[in-house]
Amino acid sequence: MSAATFAAEVLIAEARAAAKLEDFGGDDFLPGLRALCATYESPAWSEKGRTRNRRRLVNLLATRLKVEAALAQHPEILARPVKQPVVLTGLPRSGTSALFSLLGADPAARPLRLWETQCPDPLALPPGTPDPRRAAIDAYYAQGREKRPEFTKIHFTSADTPEECVLLHAYAMHGVQMGVEIFVEPYASWFQAEAADLRGLYAYQKRLMQLLDWQRPGERWLLKAPAHLWGLDALAATFPDVAIVWNHRDPVACIASACSMTEALMATLDFPRDQLGPAVMEFYARSLDRGLAVREKLDPARVFDVPYADFTRDPLACAERIYAHFALPLPRAASEALRAFAAENPEGKHGKHEYQLAQYGLDEARVRARFAGYTARFGGLHE
299-325 pLDDT, tens digit each = 999 999 999 999 999 999 999 999 999
| Structure confidence by residue, pLDDT tens digits, 240-273 | 999 999 999 999 999 999 999 999 999 899 999 9
pLDDT at 3 over 70: no
**Where do the structural domains in the chain lie, given as residue ranges?**
74-122+130-377
pLDDT at 371 over 80: yes
| Predicted local distance difference test score (pLDDT) of residue 349 | 57
Whole-number Cα distances in Å, 52 to 48, 134, 267: 6, 21, 12
Residue 166 and residue 225 in contact, taking contact as beta carbons nearer than 8 Å: yes
Sheet of strand 303-307, all strands in order from the earlier edge strand to the far edge = 109-111, 220-224, 86-90, 243-248, 303-307
Distance CA 9, CA 27 (A): 12
What is the CATH class of 74-122+130-377?
A: alpha beta
| Structure confidence by residue, pLDDT tens digits, 186-212 | 999 999 999 999 999 999 999 999 999
Which of 121-135, 159-173, 262-276, 291-305 shows the lowest mean pLDDT across its residues? 121-135
| Predicted local distance difference test score (pLDDT) of residue 153 | 55
pLDDT at 70 over 90: yes
- 291 CB-near residues (< 8 Å, 6+ apart): 89, 228, 229, 230, 232
Average pLDDT over residues 347-367: 78
Distance CA 246, CA 318 (A): 12
Angle between helices 96-103 and 332-344 (to 10 degrees): 140
Average pLDDT over residues 116-142: 89
Which of 20-24, 136-140, 290-294 shows the lowest mean pLDDT across its residues? 136-140
Distance CA 266, CA 280 (A): 13
